[in-house]
Structure 1
Amino acid sequence: MGVPAAPAGYKSGFVGIIGRPNVGKSTLMNQLVGQKIAITSPVSQTTRNRLRGILTTPEAQIIFVDTPGIHKPHHQLGKVLVQNARTAIQSVDVVLFVVDGSVESGGGDRYIIEILSNCKIPVILGMNKLDEQPEDSVLIDRTYEQIVNAEWPVVKFSALTGEGVEPLQQLLIEHLEVGPYYYPPDLVTDQPERFIMGELIREQILLLTREEVPHSVAIAIDIVQEEAKITRILATIHVERDSQKGILIG
């Protein structure tokens, strides 16, 4: 599949979505791209691969890198997730730092700000969960104003309802440079279909089992049969311990 030449003055670039676990990064990327490509489990640390969602508009192509939620690591997987997020920050054109705008800022936000303080690329502060903000949000806003870089633009939105997402999209485009199409204009993700199928299955496992099955669960897609009205998928679920098999089968 060839990639056509972009029109004159066209903008493009990579945007890293950074934030604490469960602030709505995957929900936001799904809202922006318009299709379900990132899993949105209420359990933290579910985004392990740096999934790229692609938004192509008449004026720009934005490639979103959805990083794992950044938190102070307590174990080896946590260290790897934080390292992945640090690497993602260094390889994008704009960082979108997403926070939960319905609650006051906390230590986790300050930890990320420390990481971003040495960042040489533009940072936008996105305050998500506008739909859950109290009417008088001045105190909440102030807690973020006190800790973030005063030069970072701030935009409020709700990834769930879509309110405020359009102005956010425009702000991201403003921060991109003129560039080519990196991907064909009709593509929404560079991850193969089988990976996305596996992620959707993994999402359901995490939703149904919560804490009983850890994030080490992995999915292998064995057979995909596409019929007129249904797609049948045969998959193998890999778990760490035999005891977890019974939980999943049950």
Structure 2
Amino acid sequence: MSEPHRSGFACFVGRPNAGKSTLTNALVGSKVAITSSKPQTTRHAIRGIVHRPDSQLIIVDTPGLHRPRTLLGQRLNDLVYATWSEVDVVGLCVPADEKIGPGDRYIAGELRKVAKRTPVIGIVTKTDLAPRDQVAAQLVAMQDLLDFAEIVPVSAKDGFQLDVLADLLVKRLPEGPELYPGGELTDEPEQTLVAELIREAALEGVRDELPHSLAVTIEEMLPREGRDDLLDVHAFLYVERPSQKGIVLGHKGQRLKQVGTQARKQIENLLGTKIYLDLHVKIAKDWQRDPKQLRRLGF
């Protein structure tokens, strides 16, 4: 039995110079996919995509976390927490050659807030710069920092245990298809991701009743005329039967409203811009068995 394909998001955190960027580049290797050429399409810049036969790991960037002194600082920190709670796994990087300090403890303390929902992996970086006993001591010290899902020593420079780290990260991703087909970051996957976020929100809590019967298409995604800070997104949710339409809509349309609110938040975080989300539910009878409808729905 082959393992199911997994895909999802990870981010690395740590104080400045903890080796996050080097680690990202080493994991992604020559297969680095530069983010879309449109600047500021997202404030969570996608740093790179690790393609493997069994998975696709997307590493996103977060603004550095610091003790905020200003409202902007506070907002950036809020953005970090939002990213932490949206990715599937977080890696906390601590260099092997430096003692754990107040900066590391501060970040670990903040991570504790998300660790209940999002697995956090402790990564001891730069093992090439420290003797073995120092690396071992750092691994022990890490155990007091946070209740990590795993702790792993790596060196981005000489490739030590990078595959082990990739395996540990991938293990914590949800099952799913490639989010960026062909490894490129074009504008199309943006729509694919937006559709996926809407679908995810619509399935929340009703998975058993309509797991596969729900498809989402984005009819259009356009900047609002005269405003560059607002994107209009019009989407259709397709179900196969009238009874399913009732499930998605909920009593007096309340459920669909909820779906819209939840999806909108996620999409705004993904695209880094405000959006107006317009959702409609349509019935496409037995679409899963109809090649013509499947094509139209993007399958």
Shorter-chain TM-score category? 0.5 to 0.7
**Separation in 2 of the partners of 1:124 and 1:185?**
28
Contact 1:104 1:140 in 2 (8 A): yes
Matches within 5 A, 1:95-244: 95-119=90-114, 120-137=117-134, 138-149=136-147, 151-187=148-184
How far is 1:101 from its partner? 2.0
The residue identity in structure 1 corresponding to 2:82 is T
**Separation in 1 of the partners of 2:153 and 2:182?**
28
The residue identity in structure 1 corresponding to 2:84 is I
TM-score, normalised to structure 2, is 0.53
Partner of 2:18: 23
**Separation in 2 of the partners of 1:70 and 1:101?**
20
User: What does the per-residue CA deviation read over 1:67-100, in whole Å, with 9 as the maximum and x for residues that have no partner?
Assistant: 2332223455543442322121011111111111
**Separation in 1 of the partners of 2:3 and 2:158?**
34
Question: Is 1:10 the counterpart of 2:5 in the alignment?
Answer: yes
How far is 1:16 from its partner? 1.7
Helix, strand or coil at the partner of 2:181: coil
**Separation in 2 of the partners of 1:132 and 1:78?**
33
**Separation in 2 of the partners of 1:105 and 1:183?**
37
Structure 1: which 5+ runs fail to align? 1-6, 39-47, 192-250
Contact 1:98 1:125 in 2 (8 A): yes
Helix, strand or coil at the partner of 2:179: coil
How far is 1:123 from its partner? 1.0
**Greater CA drift, 80-89 or 103-112:** 80-89
Q: Kindly tell me: are residues 30 and 190 of structure 1, through their superposed partners in 2, closer, same or farther at Cα, counting changes over 3 Å? A: farther
User: How many pairs align?
Assistant: 174
User: What does the per-residue CA deviation read over 1:116-154, in whole Å, with 9 as the maximum and x for residues that have no partner?
Assistant: 1121111111111111123321433332222221x5200
The residue identity in structure 2 corresponding to 1:142 is V
The residue identity in structure 2 corresponding to 1:172 is L
Give the structure with the higher percent helix: 2
How far is 1:9 from its partner? 1.6
**Separation in 1 of the partners of 2:43 and 2:129?**
29
The residue identity in structure 2 corresponding to 1:143 is A
Helix, strand or coil at the partner of 1:170: helix
Matches within 5 A, 1:55-94: 55-75=50-70, 78-94=73-89
Partner of 1:246: none
The residue identity in structure 1 corresponding to 2:141 is T
Contact 1:21 1:71 in 2 (8 A): no
**Separation in 1 of the partners of 2:186 and 2:113?**
29
Percent same amino acid at aligned positions? 36
TM-score, normalised to structure 1, is 0.62
**Separation in 1 of the partners of 2:155 and 2:72?**
30
Bigger Rg, structure 1 or 2: 2
Pick 1 or 2: higher relative contact order, CA cutoff 8 A, min separation 6.
1
How far is 1:8 from its partner? 7.8
Matches within 5 A, 1:34-49: 34-35=29-30, 49=43
**Separation in 1 of the partners of 2:119 and 2:100?**
21
**Separation in 1 of the partners of 2:164 and 2:153?**
9
How far is 1:174 from its partner? 1.2
Q: Kindly tell me: are residues 59 and 68 of structure 1, through their superposed partners in 2, closer, same or farther at Cα, counting changes over 3 Å? A: same
How far is 1:12 from its partner? 0.6
User: What does the per-residue CA deviation read over 1:191-233, in whole Å, with 9 as the maximum and x for residues that have no partner?
Assistant: 9xxxxxxxxxxxxxxxxxxxxxxxxxxxxxxxxxxxxxxxxxx
Helix, strand or coil at the partner of 1:12: strand
Partner of 2:231: none
